[in-house]
Amino acid sequence: MTETTTATAPTTTGTAPVSGPVAGRRRLLRPVLEMLAAMVAGMLLLDPIWALAADGLGRPGLLDRPEVDVGVMAVDMAVGMTVWMWYRGHPWSGVGEMVAAMLLPLALLAVPWWAGLIDADALTLGAHLLMVPATVVVVWRRPEDHVHPSGPAPAAGPLGRLLRRRWPTLLALLVTVDMVFAPVVPNPWFLLALPVAYLVIGAYRRRLGDRRMLAVQVAGVLGWGGLVVVAATAAEPLATWLVAAGWLAHAAWDVVHHRRDRVVPRGWAEWCAVFDTMVGIAVLLTL
C-alpha cells in the first residue's frame, strides 16, 4: 500500500512585498540627500573663491547683484554635485541632466527679472525653491542610475581613496575654509565645549573606566575652563591670543587622542584636530 501526499503551496502572512520599481523609488531618498549635501559643499567651498576673484578684478560689489549671486550659487551647486556624481560612478548623461536642473531655474527666472516683472527677492527665492524639486525630478526619472544594492561603485583612483580615507579632514576643511577668508574671534566660552565633548562622548562609549583616563578628561575640562575665564575677562589683544592658544592646544589634544585611539572615535579626533587648527589660525589672522 502506498501513501500519497499532495504538495500545497506555502502560505505567507503579512504585507505583500513591494514591487521592484516602487521599492527602488523608496530608496531614492539617500541619493537625493547625498546630492543636496554635495550642493551645499560646493557653495561653501567655492563661494570664498568667487569673492577673491571679484576683489582681484577690482569689482567687489559684483557679487551683490542678484542675478550674479544666484548664478554663482547655481554654478557652485552644479560643481559640487558633478564631483560627487563622478565619484559615485554615475554616467555623464545623468550628470548633464543634473547640471541642467541646476541652471534651468535661473534661466527661467532671469528673463522676467531683466524685464522688471519680478524683484530681487523673487529671483533669489524662486531659484532656491525650483532647484531642489528639479533635482528630485531628475533622480525620480532615472532611478536605475541612482538605486543600487549598495550604491554606484565609487570612482577608483587617488581622489576616491582620499575621500574614503580622509573624509573627516575634508569635512572639517569644508566647514572652516570660509573662516580663513573672513576671520572672526569666536566667543571664548565656545572653548569649553571642546573638552566637555570628549568627556560626554567618552562616557557614552564607556571609555572612561580607567580612573587615570577619567582624571585626564576632567583635568582637560578644568584647564580649558580656567583658560576661558581668563580670556573672557582679559583685555585685547591678550584675550584674542588666549582664544587662539586654546583652539590650537585642543588641536594637539585631538592629535594625541587620534594616535592613541582613546576616548573618542578616530574619525571624530581627526575632524576635531583639523577644525580646531583652522579656527585657531582664523583667530590669529584677526590680530
By C-alpha distance, which of 245, 246, 250, 244 is closest to 283?
244
The pLDDT assigned to 13 comes to 44
The pLDDT assigned to 126 comes to 79
- Tens digit of pLDDT for each residue in 24-64? 445 666 676 777 778 878 887 788 788 888 888 888 778 77
By C-alpha distance, which of 65, 54, 96 is closest to 78?
96
By C-alpha distance, which of 50, 162, 45, 142 is closest to 98?
142
- Tens digit of pLDDT for each residue in 109-159? 888 888 888 887 788 777 777 777 777 777 777 666 655 544 455 555 666
Cα first-last separation, the chain: 102
Rounded mean pLDDT, 217-245? 93
Task: Please say if the pLDDT value at position 224 is more than 70.
Answer: yes
Q: What angle do CA 279, 282, 284 make, to 5 degrees?
A: 115
Other Cβ atoms less than 10 A from the Cβ of 22: the count is 9
Task: Please say if the pLDDT value at position 199 is more than 70.
Answer: yes
d(CA 271, CA 286): 23
pLDDT band at 11 (very low <50, low <70, confident <90, very high): very low
d(CA 106, CA 127): 6
d(CA 111, CA 118): 9
Percent of the chain clearing pLDDT 90 (strictly above): 19
CA distances from 168 to 71, 195, 268, 274 (A): 30, 19, 7, 8
The pLDDT assigned to 233 comes to 93
Q: What angle do CA 36, 38, 41 make, to 5 degrees?
A: 115
Task: Please say if the pLDDT value at position 14 is more than 60.
Answer: no
Q: Which three cell numbers stand for residue 5?
A: 501526499
Cβ–Cβ < 8 Å for 172, 275: yes
SS3 assignment, position 156: coil
- Tens digit of pLDDT for each residue in 157-168? 666 666 667 778
- Tens digit of pLDDT for each residue in 239-260? 999 999 999 999 999 999 999 8
User: Lowest-confidence range among 1-10, 24-33, 167-176, 191-200?
Assistant: 1-10
Summary mean pLDDT of the chain: 79
